[in-house]
């Protein structure tokens, strides 16, 4: 299909919203971001395919048929995203049950080694702080 502006803008907004949600601390928001990103990708795959009549033999001449392959890929991607959403939800719930909140925490070991490095006690001063 020729890319139309509405699709392109919608995909852009979905990706932008997804990425900004992904950068949050709370796992629930990260999950929302993941879902938005997944939908953005699905639309992007659809955008790259040919639109047309249903791809059923005898229904329409072959040249007018839609390309079924991207739709199959999107279906597979939706199934995978669904499973992942369920898993992330379970993870967020478990995190809430264990610690009372669902925020992604810093790694304790990282902090300890950074402290050692600041006091110049560790045997090296490499950066490992960019974990979220």
Q: What number of chain residues touch other proteins (CB under 8 A)?
A: 45
CA dihedral defined by 5, 9, 10, 13, rounded to 10 degrees? 180
Helix, strand, coil percentages for the chain (3-state, nearest 5): 65, 5, 35
Is 125 among the residues that bind other proteins (CB under 8 A)?
yes
Q: Per the structure block, which two tokens stand in for 77?
A: 């991607």
Among residues 14, 15, 22, 16, the alpha carbon closest in space to that of 132 is found at: 22
> If binding is defined by CB under 8 A, does position 14 make contact with other proteins?
no
> Helices 27-47 and 68-99 sit at what angle, rounded to 10 degrees?
180
Nearest CA to 82 out of 126, 117, 38 is that of 38
6/126 with CB nearer other proteins: 126
- Quick check: 32 binds other proteins (CB under 8 A)? no
Asked whether position 116 contacts other proteins by CB under 8 A, the answer is yes
Question: Which residue, 3 or 59, has its beta carbon nearer to other proteins?
Answer: 3
CA angle 69, 72, 11 (to 5 degrees): 90
**Residue position matching structure tokens 């929302």:** 32
Contacts (CB under 8 A) with other proteins, residues 42-81: 44-45, 47-49, 69-70, 73, 76-77, 80
Contact with other proteins (CB under 8 A) among 64, 104, 115, 118: 104
- Residues forming contacts to other proteins in the complex (CB under 8 A) are 22, 27, 30, 34, 37-38, 41, 44-45, 47-49, 69-70, 73, 76-77, 80, 83-84, 87-88, 91-92, 94-95, 98-99, 104-105, 107, 109-110, 113, 116-117, 122-126, 128, 130-132
């Amino acid at each position: 299909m020729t890319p139309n502006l509405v699709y392109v803008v919608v995909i852009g907004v979905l990706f932008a919203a997804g990425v900004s949600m992904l950068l949050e601390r709370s796992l629930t928001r990260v999950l929302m971001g993941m879902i938005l990103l997944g939908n953005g990708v699905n639309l992007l795959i659809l955008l790259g395919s040919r639109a047309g009549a249903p791809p059923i033999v005898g229904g329409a001449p072959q040249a007018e048929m839609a390309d079924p392959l991207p739709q199959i890929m999107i279906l597979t991607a939706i199934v995978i995203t669904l499973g992942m959403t369920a898993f992330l939800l379970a993870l967020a719930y478990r995190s809430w049950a264990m610690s009372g909140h669902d925020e992604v925490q810093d790694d304790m070991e990282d902090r300890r080694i950074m402290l050692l490095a600041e006091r110049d006690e560790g045997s090296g001063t490499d950066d490992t702080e960019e974990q979220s």
